[in-house]
Chains A and B, each alone.
Chain A
Amino acid sequence: MLGYIGKRLLYMIPTLFGMSLISFMIIQLPPGDYLTSMIATMSESGQAVDPAQIQRLKEIYGFDDPFYIQYLKWMWGIVSRGDFGWSFEWNQPVSGLIWNRMGSTLVISLLSLIFVWAVALPIGIYSAVRRGSFGDHVFTFLGFIGLAVPNFILALTLMYVAYRYLGQSVGGLNSPEYAEAPWSLAKLGDFMMHLWIPIIIIGASGTAAMIRILRANLTDELHKPYVITARAKGLPEYKVILKYPVRIALNPFVSAIGWVLPHLVSGVTIIAIVLNLPTAGPLLFRALVSQDMYLAGSFILLLSALTLVGVLLSDLLLALLDPRIRFN
C-alpha cells in the first residue's frame, strides 16, 4: 500500500511539470509584456517611472531572457520561496493575493463534490435497480436537463427567479452586514445560507453525469454471476444489491473524481464570476482581462494542481475500496 502511494506521488511530478509548462505558456501568450505596457501607460499619464524599480523587475523575471530561462526562474521562485511572481496590477506579490481565494475555491469545490456524491449515489442506485420505472424516467429526464443547461445559465436563471419572486439578490458568500465581521456562529450560519445556491448550481451537471455513470455500471453489475450467488445464499434483496454490485459499481464512481473535480473547479470559476463569489474565479478573470499574467498563470497552475490532488485522493480511496488495485 505504501509503495502504491509512493508510486502515485512520483507519477504526479511529470504531470505537475506539464501543467506548469502550460500555465507558463499562457503567461507568455499575450503579445508584449506587462512591464513595457506599464511603462508606456505611466509615462503617458506623466507619472515618474523609477528606472531602478524597472531594472529590478527586469532582472527578477528576466524579461530579456529566452523562454526557458524565464520559466525556470518562475519555477525556482515557486519551489524555493513560494514566490509566484509579481502582480503588476495590484503592485504586490502574487502569493499575497492567491491563498485566500484558493482556500474558498477549495471549500466550495469539495462541498460541491460531496453534494454530487450525496445526491447521485441514492438516485443512481434507485435508477439502476428500478430501471424503466416512472421514477427512473423522471430522474433520467432531470439528469439530461442537468447536463444540458450550462451552469452559468442556471445561475442567471436562479438569480432572476430569486430577484423577481423573492425580492432578494443572491450573490457573494456573506450578507453585507457580515462581510467585514470576524468569523462567528452567526456569520457561519449566514455563510451556509449563501453557500447552497452556488453548490447546487456547480454540482448540477456533475450530479447528472454521475447518476448516468452509476446507473450504467450498476446495471451491468446487477446481472453478474456473483449477484446470483449472493441471492442464492438467501440474502434479502436490499442486502444483495448494496453489499455486492453497488460496492463494485462504486469504483468508477470514486475514480470519476479525476474528471469531476476539474469540471467542478471550472464550474466554480465561471459561477464565481456570475455570482461574484470571493474565489479564484473573479480575480483570475480580472487578471486575464488586464493581462496581469503572473497572477493569472499562478491561478491556472494552482487550480490545475488542485484537481491533481483530487485525483490522488481518488486513487487512494480506490485502493482502499478494491483489493485488486491494492495488490497489483
Chain B
Amino acid sequence: MTDLSPDVVLSVENLSIDFTLRTHILHAVQNVNFQLKRGKTLCLVGESGSGKSVTARTLLQIVDKPGRIVDGSILLRNGTKVTDITKLAPTGAAMRAIRGKRIGLIFQEPMSSLSPVHTIGSQIIEAIRLHSDLDKKAARARMVELLSQVEIPDPDTMADRYTFEFSGGMRQRAMIAMALASNPDILIADEPTTALDVTTQAEILDLIKRLQVERGMAMLLITHDMGVVAEVADEVAVMRFGRVVETGAVDKIFHDAEHSYTRQLLASTVKLTSHVKAADSTAALSANAPEPVLSVRNVSKVFGWNNGAKALRAVDNASFDLYPGENLGIVGESGSGKTTLGRLILRITEPTEGKVVYRREPGSEVDVTRLDKHGLRAFHRDARLVFQDPFASLNPRMTVKEVIGDPLIVNGLAKGKALEERVAELMRLVGLDPLGMERYPHAFSGGQRQRICIARALALDPKIIIADEATAALDVSIRSQILDLLLDLRQRLNLSFIFISHDISVVRYFCDRVAVMHKGRIVELGEAEQICTAPKEAYTKSLISAVPNPDPRDKRLMHRHRFVAPAIEPAHV
C-alpha cells in the first residue's frame, strides 16, 4: 500500500460510505477510486445526490453523524511515508494536523461558511497560527499578504470587516485565503462558484486556477457544471448515485466519452449552447401579427422612500414588447431587477411608474396598471407565472389534483367529473401519469414537481406564461427536458413566454429575443443569437464571455471581456 507513484499526493481506493437513516441505509458512496496529482486538477462531476460532496468531506473526515466509512482507504503522501486517513481518529491530533495544513477546503456558500460574528481577518489569522508558530503580529502580516494574493483591495482595512459587509465574490476570496493559510498541498473546492454570479464565477475560477498553478497544488474541484469542468480540469471523474462511472483526461471525457451517462450529461449541456430552431419560425409569426400581445412601457419600481437617499431603483425605466408566440428572455445577474420586473408585470408588486398594455385580441387594449381587482383577476387568467422553486410553490397539503384543479374551481370553470378529466388531460400534456393525481407533492421529484407547476399554469388556457428561473433549481439533464416541454407546449397552445433567467445558456436555447438587465435597466435587447454571439454593449460582452464553454479545446474564460461598472451607480437615485 505504500507504493504511490511519485506525482500522486493522495489516492482514494475502494472508498464506500453509508448513511444509516431512520427508514433505510443509503449507500452514498460506493467503491470510489481516484488519485490527486501534484499541480493537477481533478474534477468530480455529478448531479445532485451523486455523493460527490460526501466524498470530498471524507478526505478530511468531517462527514456529519449518520455517515461512516464502511470500506476502502484514503492514502495521503507524507514525505516518504504514506498515511491512511481512514485509519486516523476523526478528532485526533494526527487528523487535525492534516486539516488545513495538508488539505485546504473551500465551500459553496461563502456566507454561511464563514462565522458572522468574527472578523474576516481573525478567522484567517486563526488558521495561520494553528499550524505555525508565528506571533500575532507576524500572523497578521501574513494574513494581509494572503488577502492581497486573492486580490482583495485594501486588505489591511478589509481584514477588520465582518462577512456581511463583504460581497459574495469577496467572501469567496476570503474563504480561499483561509484555505491557503498554511500552504496546503491539496485544495478541495466544493462547488466554489455555484452560489455566485457568472461574471464573479469567472473571476473566482481564474483566481483558483492561477493560485493552484503557482503553488503546484493538487486540486479536487467538485461541480455539477460541465462548463466549469471544461475550463479548469485536467482529469475528470463522473459520479452518479455514489459510483464513479467514468474517469479520464478532460479531453477524452468531452470528446470520446465511453459511459452512456457521461455522454447524456454532456449532451444536455452542449444542447444548451445552441439555439433551438422552432419548426414554424416565430419571426414569421410576428411578421404576420405585428401587434405585440404585451407592451411594457417605462416601468420603474422604487423601494424605500420615494426619491429618498436610500431609495433603490430595483427596476429603472424598462420597456419592451412581447409578440404572440414569442419567447422573450430576460437575463441578468442577481440584483439586476429581473425578478422584480416579472412581478411588476403581474402586479404582485405594484410598479411605481410606467404602464403595461395587454392585448387579448388585436385591437383590444387594457392597461394592466390601471385594472381594478376584477380586471386584474381576468388578466391573471391569461398571464400565468411559473416559479423558481418547485418545492415552495406547491402547497404540500394538497394533492396534485387539488393543486392543478384549484384555478379551475376558483374561476368556476369545472367541477366533479369534468374537473378530474381536465386535470388528467393537463397532466398528460406535461408528461405526467394521471394515475398520480391523488398523490401529494412530496412524492414527486423536482422535475416532476415543476411539471405540476406548469400544468397548473396551463389550466386556465393562458396566452402568456412568465417563467421566473423556472429551471434554475433543476439538474442539467432535467433542465433540458423541461425546456423542451415548454417549447412543445408553445407550439401546441400558441403561448408567449417571458423567460427570466440568470443562465445565459438556457436563454440562448429557449428564447427568440433577449433583454439583458443590469442594475435595474435593460441595457441591451435583441435577437437571442445576436446577443449571445455578437453582443454590442460592454456589459453584455463581459456577461457572455464569462459563461464557461463546455469544451476543453476552446476555453473561453482565458480571453474574456472584463466589464468595469461606471463609477456612478445608476441604480441609486
A and B touch in the complex (CB under 8 A): yes
User: Measuring CB to CB, which residues of chain A are less than 8 angstroms from any residue of chain B?
Assistant: 223-226, 228-237, 244, 247-248, 321-324, 327
User: For chains A and B in complex, what number of residue pairs have CB atoms within 8 angstroms?
Assistant: 74
B97 touches A234 (CB 8 A): yes
Q: How far is the CB of B88 from chain A (nearest CB, A)?
A: 12
Contact of B62 among A226, A228, A244, A321 (CB under 8 A): A228
The contact sample of 5 A-B pairs, CB cut-off 8 A, is A224-B112, A229-B113, A231-B99, A233-B127, A234-B130
A232 touches B62 (CB 8 A): yes
A324 touches B164 (CB 8 A): yes
Which residues of chain B are near A324, meaning CB under 8 Å?
116-117, 162, 164
Contacts A234-B98, A323-B162, A327-B165 given; indicate if A248 touches B116 (C-beta within 8 A): yes
In the bound assembly, the distance between CA atoms of A151 and B99 in angstroms comes to: 50
Contact of B91 among A223, A233, A237, A321 (CB under 8 A): A237
Which residues of chain A are near B109, meaning CB under 8 Å?
225
List of 9 A-B pairs having minimum Cβ-Cβ separation, nearest first: A234-B99, A234-B100, A232-B105, A225-B113, A233-B100, A234-B96, A225-B112, A233-B127, A237-B91
Given contacts A226-B113, A247-B117, 7 further A-B contacts (CB under 8 A): A225-B113, A226-B114, A229-B175, A231-B60, A232-B60, A233-B130, A234-B130
Which residues of chain A are near B175, meaning CB under 8 Å?
229
Asked if B101 lies at the interface with its beta carbon under 8 angstroms from chain A, I say yes
Q: How far is the CB of B89 from chain A (nearest CB, A)?
A: 11
Asked if B107 lies at the interface with its beta carbon under 8 angstroms from chain A, I say yes
Which residues of chain B are near A327, meaning CB under 8 Å?
162, 164-165
Asked if B57 lies at the interface with its beta carbon under 8 angstroms from chain A, I say yes
**Binary contact readout B102-124 vs A (1 if CB under 8 angstroms, 0 otherwise):** 00110101001111110000000
In the bound assembly, the distance between CA atoms of A224 and B175 in angstroms comes to: 15
In the bound assembly, the distance between CA atoms of A324 and B175 in angstroms comes to: 19
Contacts A225-B107, A228-B62 given; indicate if A233 touches B99 (C-beta within 8 A): yes
Which residues of chain B are near A230, meaning CB under 8 Å?
115
Which residues of chain A are near B62, meaning CB under 8 Å?
228, 231-232
In the bound assembly, the distance between CA atoms of A228 and B53 in angstroms comes to: 13
In the bound assembly, the distance between CA atoms of A227 and B320 in angstroms comes to: 47
Q: How far is the CB of B190 from chain A (nearest CB, A)?
A: 10
In the bound assembly, the distance between CA atoms of A225 and B109 in angstroms comes to: 8
User: Measuring CB to CB, which residues of chain B are less than 8 angstroms from any residue of chain A?
Assistant: 57, 60, 62, 64, 91, 96-101, 104-105, 107, 109, 112-117, 126-127, 130-131, 162, 164-165, 175, 178, 181
Q: How far is the CB of A70 from chain B (nearest CB, A)?
A: 42
In the bound assembly, the distance between CA atoms of A247 and B122 in angstroms comes to: 15
Which residues of chain A are near B97, meaning CB under 8 Å?
234
In the bound assembly, the distance between CA atoms of A230 and B104 in angstroms comes to: 11
Contact of B96 among A224, A226, A236, A248 (CB under 8 A): A236
Nearest neighbor of A322 in chain B, beta-carbon distance:
B117
In the bound assembly, the distance between CA atoms of A235 and B116 in angstroms comes to: 18
Contact of B114 among A223, A229, A234, A322 (CB under 8 A): A229
Nearest neighbor of A251 in chain B, beta-carbon distance:
B117
Nearest neighbor of B128 in chain A, beta-carbon distance:
A233
Which residues of chain A are near B112, meaning CB under 8 Å?
224-226
B101 touches A234 (CB 8 A): yes
Q: How far is the CB of B109 from chain A (nearest CB, A)?
A: 6
Q: How far is the CB of B65 from chain A (nearest CB, A)?
A: 9
Contact of A235 among B96, B107, B114 (CB under 8 A): B96
A226, A321, A324, most chain B CB atoms within 10 A: A226
Q: How far is the CB of B199 from chain A (nearest CB, A)?
A: 24
B178 touches A248 (CB 8 A): no
B115 touches A226 (CB 8 A): yes
Nearest neighbor of B97 in chain A, beta-carbon distance:
A234
Which residues of chain B are near A322, meaning CB under 8 Å?
116-117
In the bound assembly, the distance between CA atoms of A230 and B114 in angstroms comes to: 9
A233 touches B162 (CB 8 A): no
Contacts A234-B96, A234-B101, A248-B115 given; indicate if A223 touches B64 (C-beta within 8 A): yes
Q: How far is the CB of A297 from chain B (nearest CB, A)?
A: 42
B96, B109, B115, B165, most chain A CB atoms within 10 A: B115
In the bound assembly, the distance between CA atoms of A237 and B105 in angstroms comes to: 17
Q: How far is the CB of B414 from chain A (nearest CB, A)?
A: 45
In the bound assembly, the distance between CA atoms of A248 and B97 in angstroms comes to: 26
Q: How far is the CB of A263 from chain B (nearest CB, A)?
A: 27
